[in-house]
Every structure is written in C-alpha cells, then in structure tokens.
Amino acid sequence: MSRRNGERPLRVAVIGAGWAARSIWLPRLAAHPRFTVVAVVDPDPRARAAASGGAYPALADVRDLAPGEVDIAVVAVPNHLHATVAETILGAGIPVFVEKPVCLTSAEADRLAAAESAGGAVLLAGSAARYRTDVRTLLEAARTVGPVRHISLGWVRARGIPSGAGWFTHRRLSGGGALMDLGWHLLDVAAPLLGKAKFRHVLGTVSDDFVTDASVRAGWRQDENVDVSGDVEDTARGFLVAPDGPSVSVTASWASHRPDDLTTVVVDGGTGTLSLSCTFGFSPDRQERSVLTLSRQGQETVLPGPEEPVGAEYDRLLDDLPRLLADPAARGAAVREAARNVDAIERLYGSAAPAPRRPVRPAAPEPYRSGPVRAVVFDLDGVLVDSFPVMRQAFTRAYREVVGDGEPPFEEYNRHLGRYFPDIMRIMDLPLEMEGPFVRESARLADQVTLFPGVRELLQLLRQRGVRLAVATGKAGWRARSLLDRLGVLPLFDHVIGSDEVARAKPAPDIVLRALDLLRADPQEAVMVGDAVTDLAAARDAGVVAAAALWGETDEAALLAAEPDLTLRKPADVASLCVPAEVLLT
C-alpha cells in the first residue's frame, strides 16, 4: 500500500511487549507505509527492551504517552488489563485499538463507553478474523441467501491451550477460557448478520477435560512459562437467540480429539446455506485450504476465493485502520459490539454448570512470629486510607441506580471488604452492574479519601530502614495506584497489586504470594497488615504473619475472633516489627 497524497504515517504506540506485540503487531506496523511506531510501552524493562530492540522508544507507563505525539495506541496486553489500559489512554485523548476481548465484564464496557465520550478519542476494536478474505466473501454472499435463520459458529483446535505466562488459564486474569479467547472471534465474525441488540436468550455448557494437560499447550506461541494449572474451561458450547434475527450456536474449544484445527461458519438463510471450512489463527495444525460453499435447492457450489498467507487478515485490518480512525460513525460502534459480546459471554457462563476448579495452592509454611520483618504487605482501604465515607456514598449511589428503592445494605458489604467488588456482589446476590456506578462515584469522590494519621510517617520510616513495601488490595490495581499517586505516597511502595491482577482474590493467598514474589521476600520475613477477616485468611495461607489493623472503621470483634497473629492499634505499631537499618547493613 503506497502513501497517498503525501499523507504522513500515523504515529502508533504499541502497549504491551508480549507474544502478540512481538509476533503480530510490531512486525506488521514496521512494514506498513501508513504507520510509524513511536513507542513500545511495558512495565517490565526486559520485555520492553526485547520488543523495541532499540528501534523504538521504550516507555514503562501509558501515562508517559504524549497525546500530541501519538495518533493511535494498539493495546496488546493480557486480557484483564485491556479495559483499564484503554480507559486510561482514551482519558488522555488518544485513540485506541483493542483486539479481543475488548473487556471482561459489562461494567468494563460501560467504563469504556464513558471514557470514549469523556476523552473525545475513538475506541476501535474487534477481531482481525473479520478481515479474512473467505470471511468477507461469506458475509457478502450472505445477502443472497434470504433472511438469515441460523448461524453455526465453531473453532475447535486439536491442541492449542495458550499459557501467556500463566494468565490465560486463570479466570481472574483472562475473563474465561476458550469462550472468551476463541468465542469472541466467532461472535465478531457473525456480528454484521446479527443486528445491534443484545441476545434475547443465552444458554450454554462448559467443560475442562484438557486445560491442565501440558501436552496440548499452544507450542507455536513460545510462551516463557508453561503453567499447567487453571480454573477456566477448555471447551464451551452455547445457543443464543437474537431478538429479531437468527439463532446462533457457538462451539469454542482449545483442545479436542481432532487431528487438526477446524473453524466453521455456517449461515442458514431462507433461500440458501453458506458453509465455510478453514482454520483461524496461527496454529500449524491447519486445514489444507479454506473452502466456502453455497447450497441451494439441492445444488452445492464452491465459491472461488484466493488463498492467502497466515495472518494476512492483520495486514488488511491495518489497511483499514486509518479509514476507521477518520470515520465519525466509528465512534461508539466498537463499544456497542463489545457490550453485546461480553453480555452474551457473561450470560453463557452464568447458565453453564461450573467447570471443576483446580486451584494450585502451595503448602504454607508456619509464620515466623518473633524475628524482625523485612517486607510488609498492606491492605489499602481501612489500613492506609480512610475511605469508608466515600465507599458508603458510592455504594449507596450504585444501589439506588441499579437496584432501586430500599435501604442499601452497606453494613453487610462492609463485612466482606478485602474481596474483589464483583465477588462481593455475587456473595450478596446483588447485580454485577453495580460495579460501574460504584467505580464512577468512587472516582468522583476520590478527593475526600485521606491517609490515616501517621501512615505517611510510617511509610517514610520503613523506607529509610530498607523495608520492602507492597499493597495488596481488593480494588482494581489501576484504581489503587491512582489513589496512592494522588495522595503522594505511591513512590514509597515497591509494588501495588489489585485483585484484578491475580488469579484469585482474597481470601485466597494469591495476591499475598504475588507480592512476596515481586518483593523477593520469603514468607518467614514478611507480615500482612489488614483490617478484614479475608486479609488474615490470605496472609495465613501464604505463610506470613497475619496482623490485624484496628485503627480504622472495622469490625474489631470479627477480626479478634479470627485470631490474628498480631493486633496493631495504630500505624506506628508496624515499625516496631521491622528490622532497623543498622541490621540491614551488617
């Protein structure tokens, strides 16, 4: 594709430095005359250095992107960060392209719609599969088969469970298994035939016969870490009914007993049937060729179509990206499609019998209760910051907007603090849709959140002593970092981890174990300071000292009944546990 009329290339930043960035986006963007890569962004210095190869500027944070110097950002990060990263970039006024899955929940779709509207920049998104020549031919031919009655969608791999350094097979980080990964592509392909409304009925099943079998991993991805644990499905099957359109059947499978990978799209119309047999994606276990047939009145015709290289759909997507970026009609379109997709996926998972969960929980050593502490993991709300008045207001507003009249059960919500907000909603049998207004109101009232007296001085003292510090919170990581940054204490922490950034939220130990790993600390030399029973449970299962913080608006009786290893009455009490600087120097 040649440059037209002297147009300058679009300046693009690639967010993320994993397999997708290295194998799909950076090589194609570098070769495309309509684009020039101006930045690679990844918090891991080794990953961004490897991805940029010295050819592009490498940044650690998307907030370092200058709106006047970037025309579009391509988001290629793990699933659970898609919406958060896109929301941040859109808020800065920079257009964004996000491949599937655009978001993991309906609440995230609402946040993206708000960010697109507030920031004035367009969100572009979707699966490149829609740009395949065979798919485009099928969609064009679908106009000739009368009203569409049913669409059958299938993507079944012989072997191809992705690892993604472990996050792909953990629901908290991936949003789901084969349905979220492959099923989103399939729903995107069918979207032009389905209208704009959400599905009227959704029913599905899931299974996990292969997900922990290392022999069926997607070897072509060359992921660094092969994790054989997981709590997602490897196969999902669903039946969906559009309000005024066709029914849709979906089968998405990461692994099977097939010898090769097969993708099928069948469109049954009033006057004919179109059937496509091919292989989506980059797997080497491919169909010999793509075949598209039209059946009508007992006669079957093979429709001609050129063979194309694997991955050519991404080149075609890039060809079209400048047009979409300039098209006013593109604003809001991607978010609407994403909202329908994620609504269907949420409802299918909700209707399915849950797949057996196989969490891998390491044996927890006995806590070391007498020696000095060299690493401290803090909860956030009720320990570092006094956020209860804001949480009460935000919870009340969210309850009023989504549920309606009645007394908002904040006291019950308060008893579950420390858990991830969507998990609390499930426990309380409240709508997950409350997350959107809760997050919005929390952000609006953020200026009212303050540090507890003595916290800033404690953190400064611990840093002077060389103690390693982390935050492990039930909040989303981006929200926690934003709050601590506004309060001026973010630089005092080595790491801040949110529940959306680990496989399982508290009371599971994952977030504490992750903090210890990042801090390079052994459990025997660490303490977890929390104000909720879930904090103490996570600490115990991680093998660290469980310290109850009693200076906030907490349920002291419940905390003491949980038998913490230590009780702390004021923030300064933490300092007495920690190794002094002179010990570190010996």
> Which is nearest to 103 in space by CA: 88, 121, 85, 117?
85
- Cis omega (within 30 of 0) on the bond before 507? yes
**CATH for 130-308+340-351?**
3.30.360.10
**CATH for 10-126?**
3.40.50.720
- Strands of the sheet with 96-98, listed across from one edge: 58-59, 35-41, 10-15, 72-75, 96-98, 123-125
> Which is nearest to 395 in space by CA: 438, 439, 440, 444?
438
- Is residue 278 within 8 Å of residue 186, measured between CB atoms? no
Strand partners, 253: 156, 235
What number of other Cβ atoms are within 10 A of residue 215's Cβ? 10
Gap between the Cα atoms of 106 and 343, Å rounded = 6
For residue 144, the SS3 value is: helix
Phi-psi region of 294 (alpha: psi -120 to 50; beta: other; left: phi over 0): beta
- Is residue 384 within 8 Å of residue 435, measured between CB atoms? no
Written as six digits, the tokens of 209 are 């016969």
Torsion angle of alpha carbons 30, 34, 38, 44, nearest 10°?
A: -50
Q: What is the pTM of this model?
A: 0.63
> Which is nearest to 1 in space by CA: 21, 24, 23, 31?
31
* One-character DSSP codes across 105-132: SHHHHHHHHHHHHHH---EEE--GGGGS
Strand partners, 35: 10
- Is residue 109 within 8 Å of residue 342, measured between CB atoms? yes
Torsion angle of alpha carbons 127, 133, 134, 138, nearest 10°?
A: 80
> Which is nearest to 175 in space by CA: 107, 228, 258, 274?
107
Domain range summary for the chain, segments of one domain joined by +: 10-126, 130-308+340-351, 375-387+449-584
- Is residue 175 within 8 Å of residue 106, measured between CB atoms? no
* DSSP letter (8 states) at residue 161: B
In the prediction, which pLDDT does 335 show?
93
3-state secondary structure 49-83: HHHHCCCCCEECCHHHCCHHHCCEEEECCCHHHHH
In the prediction, which pLDDT does 418 show?
66
Q: Are strands 545-549 and 566-568 parallel, antiparallel or unpaired?
A: parallel
* One-character DSSP codes across 344-407: HHHHHHHHSPPPPPB---PPPPPP--SSPBSEEEE-SBTTTEE-HHHHHHHHHHHHHHHT-SS-
Contacts (Cβ under 8 Å, ≥6 apart) of 149: 246, 247, 268, 269, 270
> Which is nearest to 339 in space by CA: 196, 203, 181, 240?
196
Which residues have a catalytic role annotated? 379
Identical fold for domains 10-126 and 375-387+449-584, yes or no, is yes
Distance of CA 342 to CAs 2, 136, 180, 438, Å? 37, 23, 8, 20
Contacts (Cβ under 8 Å, ≥6 apart) of 144: 271, 272, 294
> Which superfamily does 375-387+449-584 belong to?
HAD superfamily/HAD-like (3.40.50.1000)
For residue 418, the SS3 value is: coil
Strand partners, 471: 378, 496
Torsion angle of alpha carbons 248, 339, 342, 174, nearest 10°?
A: 140
* Residues in the chain where the model's pLDDT stays below 50: 1-5, 224-226, 355-370, 581-586
In the prediction, which pLDDT does 413 show?
82
- Is residue 194 within 8 Å of residue 246, measured between CB atoms? yes
In the prediction, which pLDDT does 228 show?
56
